[in-house]
Structure 1
């Protein structure tokens, strides 16, 4: 064991976060996301929700300051009346850890294409809809 590393971060996920370079992206997905078919590298954290994983990842990984929108969310599909309240939780976590950051909202299939190019996908057991989030890694100083 190590000190100061959130216990939710598995050794496999820590290795991936260490391997990632500036500009690489990581997806933290909800339980409905097709993670296995999208991922170049897949980490399963099925017993956890996205907010707790997001908070732990941002303890160790800074967001990119050289891009306008270092965070991406899958926008609600047209015609769907669901309101993703979890987004407010994400915004609060990001503000606490990284300050105010702009968020990009991407159409579902555009989000999937971006996810396929991500360095890794973390599959959680999150049950909220539209709870997928992409983070662009920044420079560690």
Structure 2
């Protein structure tokens, strides 16, 4: 245990988050996601897991140490519902709230089509699979910077 570090942030996940640079992306995905085939194509090259943890709870842990990118129009995305890209699921609303709580009301989730999401996840720094059992619990977060204190 570390002081002031969310206990869900295990050593492997902390290493990945610290290793990511500005503009690198982390995919946070649900339990149905093809984790092994996608993760092997990422920079990290292997899957990260938080079994038994919902996607919103994983977001809270990750966003407690990971700033979102302020230099791009959209730094966080949700996988769109197939055939209904404007529909939001409960897990997506809950994830959005975690983003708002961590970064403020200007950080709205963008939508990304399912197969485009898979391709973006392959190009990400790493993929974190949660125990999220609800459908469309897949998200992308782009790391920002922490400005120096004046």
**Same fold (TM > 0.5):** yes
Which of 125, 128, 134 is residue 128 of structure 1 equivalent to?
134
Q: Which runs of 4+ in 1 moved over 6 A?
A: none
The separation in 1 between residues aligned to 2:54 and 2:84, in whole angstroms, is 26
> Alignment partner of 1:33: what SS?
coil
What SS does the corresponding residue of 1:60 show, helix, strand or coil? coil
Count of paired positions = 140
| 1:16 aligned onto 2:22 | no
1:51 aligns with 2:56: yes
Distance 2:84 2:5 in 1: 42
- Please give the residue correspondences for 1:1-141 in structure 2 after superposition, counting only pairs within 5 Å: 1-39=1-39, 40=42, 41=44, 42-78=47-83, 84-100=89-105, 101-141=107-147
Q: Is the CA contact (8 Å cut-off) linking 1:29 and 1:50 kept in structure 2?
A: yes
TM-score by length of 1: 0.94
Unmatched 5+ residue regions in structure 2? none
Give the CA deviation at 1:93: 1.0
- Aligned 8 A contact 1:61 1:140 in 2: no
